[in-house]
Amino acid sequence: MCGIVGFMSRNTPAAGPLVSGLHRLEYRGYDSAGVALVAPDGLRVYKQTGKVAELDALLKRELSEEDRRRCTIGIAHTRWATHGLPTRENAHPHLAGGGTLALVHNGIVENYASLRAGLEKRGVQFVSQTDTEVLAHLVAHYDQGDLLAATCKALRRVEGTYGIALVSAKHPGEMIVARKGSPLVIGVGESDIVVASDVSAIVAFTRQVIYLKDGDVARITPGSVDIHSLDNAPVSREVQEVDWDIGAIEKGGYEHFMLKEIFEQPDALRNTIRGRLDPTGGTAILSGLNLSPRELAAIRRLVIIGCGTSLHAGMVGKYLFEDLADIPASPEQAAEFRYCNPIVGPDDWVIALSQSGETADTLAAVRESIRKGALVSGLCNVVGSTIAREAGRGVYLHAGPEISVASTKAFTAQVTALLMTALKLGRTRRLSREEGIRLVAEIMRIPDLISAVLERNDAIARAAEKHANANDMFFIGRGILYPTALEGALKIKEIAYVHAEGYQAAELKHGPIALLCPKTPVVALLADIPGKEKTLGNVQECRARRAPVIGLVTEGDSEAAAAVDDAITLPPTSRELAPIVSVVALQLFAYHVARLRGCEIDQPRNLAKSVTVE
C-alpha cells in the first residue's frame, strides 16, 4: 500500500527527486512520510506525519544547502499505518546499527514479534511499534562488511511480504533493494538510477525499467544494478520499456485525477478493444490467452477471482460467460477463495482480475490455483505486474495509468475484456457466427456510448446536488445490473464517505426496506433490458415509503422516467453493454456527491490504490 522511492546518482542531489517521487505516489494512500540521505559523514534522516508537502517543508527548513548538494543517494517512503499509530517515531525510514543504516519497507513481517524478542535479548533497543524496525536491526546485526549478504541473511528469516530499500553510512556508495509479494521497479537512466514501488514515480526520469521478481535482492551502485537471489546467487532480469510517458499521470486540466480518468474512458476502452475483434468471424482475438480452440472447448467451469471493484467486474463476467459461452462461472472473493480449500482442477479456468496486478489476496489465489492444476489467466492493467507474470497468460487492459484510488476506467476495461473473452469462448461452443458478429459490433460501440454518457455530466451533477447531504443510500439493480449497483455503492462509500448498500432489487423486501424513509435516497438501475419491469415494481415500493428515487433510465423510456423522482437518461444499449454504460453515470454521480461534500476525492481516508497486504 505504501510508497517507496530510492535515488542514486554520481552528481544529482537526491532530495528533490525523492520528494518528487513521493508526490507521484501520494495516490496510494499514506499517513506519514520520510527521507534518508547518505552524506559523506553519515545519514541525514527527516520524518514527518501528514502530507509529503509537510516533509518537503521540513527538508527546506532543516537540510542545509551543502548537505543537499552532497547527498546524491537516498531513500524515501510514504507509510500507511499497520503496526503502530501514524507518528513520527513509527514513520519510515527506520534506523539501526547506531544510526548508520536506514531502511524503508512495504508489506508485513508476520513473525516480527519473535524476531523482535530475539533482538531485544541481544540488547537491541527499539524506538517504534513497527514490524519494519525489526528488519533494519536484523540487517545491521548480520552486516560484517557485505551489505548484500547481510540483507539476504536477514530476509531468509522473515515470514511475510516485503518490498525494501536500504542504505548504510558504512557502505556509502550502494543501495540494497529486495522484494517478496510487494512490488519494486528499478528505473535505469543515463546517469541516474531510480527505485520505486510503482513505475509512476520513475517515468519522469527514465522509461527503461527492471521489474524485480519475488526473491530478488539487488545491489545498486552508480551506473550498475546487480541482482541476486536470496541465496546470493546472481540472476538476470531484462530491461523493459514503459509504454506511456509522464503526461499520462498529470491531471491535464481536470480538478481531480478521478474526473480525468472517468473522461479518459472512451480512449481507454478503444485501447482495450484495438486489434482484438474479428468482425468477419464474429469472435475476439486474444493472443495473450495462448489457448487453442480445442483447449477452450475442453474447459468445463470458470472461476473469476478478485477484490473490491475487480470482484464486481467478475460478477458481471458471470452473466456474460454463462449467457454467451454456456458455461458455469463462479465469481469468488480472492481472500475467501484462498482460505476455503477451493475445488479446482485441470478442467477449470481461473481468471484473476486486478488493476495493479499486485493485489496480495488475488496473487495468493492465483498461486493456489496453479498448485491445484487449474488453467490460470490474469486480466491486469499494469504490464509486468506479478499476477501477469505468474499467470503466464492473460489479457492486458491497456487502460493507461490509473492514479485515483477509486477505480473507474479499470472497471470498464475489465468488463470489456471479460466480454471479449466470453465472446471468444462462446464461439468455441454454441454461439453462432451471426450472434458473434452482432456482439463484435456492440463492443465496437462502447467508446461512443461512454462519450454519450459523459455528455450528460451536468445533468448528473444536478441530480447529485439534490442528494449530496444524504447519510445513507441504497443502490438497486437486477441480473447483470446487480453487480453494477454494488459498484455504484462502493464508489460513493469510497470517495464521499456516505453509507451506501447495493442490493439485488428483489432483496429490498427481505429486510432492507425497513430502513427506507424520506432521508434515504435509492438509486435504481433501470436500463431498458430484461428485468426492468420487475425493478420498476421495486421502485414503487421505495416511493410508497417516501424514499426519493434517482433512476438511470434509457433515453426515450417515458414509463421509467415517470416512475422516479430524478431521471438520469442514458443512451440505448444492449444487455451486455448496460453495466458499462450505467456504471459511468454512477461514477460521475459519486464524484459530484463527493465534490459537493468537500471530500478528498483522489486520496480518500484509510484507503490505498494497491492493496499488497492481506
For 127-189, what is the HEC assignment?
Answer: CCCCCHHHHHHHHHHHCCCCHHHHHHHHHCCCCECEEEEEEECCEEEEEEEEEEECCCEEEEC
Q: 425-435, pLDDT tens digit by residue? A: 999 999 999 99
What is the C-alpha separation between 379 and 157, in angstroms, rounded? 33
Residue 459: its H or E element: helix 457-467
DSSP string, 84-97: S-S-TTTSSPEEET
Domains of the chain: 3-248 (3.60.20.10), 257-444 (3.40.50.10490), 448-602 (3.40.50.10490)
What is the C-alpha separation between 164 and 180, in angstroms, rounded? 9
Say how many C-beta atoms besides its own lie within 10 A of residue 563's C-beta: 21
Mean of pLDDT values over 292-305: 93
Query: Peptide bond before 279: cis, by omega within 30 degrees of 0?
Result: no
Q: Which of 245-259, 338-352, 381-395, 584-598 has the lowest mean pLDDT?
A: 245-259
Mean of pLDDT values over 25-37: 86
Count of helix runs (H) and strand runs (E) in the chain: 21, 26
User: pTM of the predicted model, to two decimals?
Assistant: 0.81
Per-residue pLDDT, 500: 96
Q: Give the list of residues 6+ apart from residue 396 with CB closer than 8 angstroms, or none.
A: 288, 380, 381, 383, 388
C-alpha cell, 496: 464521499
Residue 350: its H or E element: strand 348-354
Phi, psi at 369, each rounded to 5°:
-65, -40
Q: Give percent above pLDDT 70 in the chain.
A: 98
CA-to-CA dists, residue 577 to 268, 394, 416, 419, 475, angstroms: 16, 22, 9, 9, 19
4, 75 contact by CB (below 8 A): yes
Q: Give the list of residues 6+ apart from residue 128 with CB closer than 8 angstroms, or none.
A: 84, 89, 90, 94
Per-residue pLDDT, 496: 96
Residue 465: its H or E element: helix 457-467
11, 191 contact by CB (below 8 A): yes
- 3-state SS, one letter per residue, for 496-563: HCCEEEEEEHHHHHHCHHHHCCCCCCEEEEECCCCCHHHHHHHHHHHHHCCCCEEEEEECCCHHHHHC
> Quick one: pLDDT band at residue 613, thresholds 50, 70, 90?
low
CA-to-CA dists, residue 528 to 301, 506, 566, angstroms: 30, 17, 17
Q: Give the list of residues 6+ apart from residue 521 with CB closer than 8 angstroms, or none.
A: 467, 470, 473, 474, 547, 548, 549, 550
**471 burial level (CB within 10 Å; 0-12, 13-18, 19+):** exposed
Mean of pLDDT values over 265-293: 94
* 3-class secondary-structure state, position 382: coil
> Which residues are identified as catalytic?
2, 609
Strand ranges (DSSP E) for 181-236? 185-188, 192-196, 208-211, 217-221, 224-228
Residue 563 has pLDDT above 90, yes or no: yes
436, 283 contact by CB (below 8 A): yes
Most confident of the following: 69-83, 469-483, 498-512 = 469-483
What is the C-alpha separation between 104 and 47, in angstroms, rounded? 12
Residue 105: its H or E element: strand 101-106
Torsion of CA 123, 126, 132, 137, to 10 degrees: -30
Report which DSSP code applies to 363. H
Mean of pLDDT values over 345-364: 92
Phi, psi at 126, each rounded to 5°:
-95, 145
Per-residue pLDDT, 571: 97
Closest by CA position to 132, among listed 219, 220, 41, 32: 32
Radius of gyration of the chain (CA): 25
CA 242 from centre of chain: 18
Q: Give the list of residues 6+ apart from residue 511 with CB closer than 8 angstroms, or none.
A: none
What is the C-alpha separation between 372 and 478, in angstroms, rounded? 34
Per-residue pLDDT, 195: 96
Residue 32 has pLDDT above 60, yes or no: yes
Report which DSSP code applies to 471. S
C-alpha cell, 39: 552524506
Mean of pLDDT values over 439-444: 97
Closest by CA position to 445, among listed 610, 266, 281, 583: 266
**419 burial level (CB within 10 Å; 0-12, 13-18, 19+):** buried
Q: What residues pair up with 553 in beta bridges, in sequence order?
A: 526, 569
Per-residue pLDDT, 250: 75
Mean of pLDDT values over 16-44: 90
> Quick one: pLDDT band at residue 155, thresholds 50, 70, 90?
very high
Residue 249 has pLDDT above 80, yes or no: no
What is the C-alpha separation between 79 and 305, in angstroms, rounded? 28
| Mean pLDDT across the chain | 93
Q: How many residues does the chain have?
A: 614
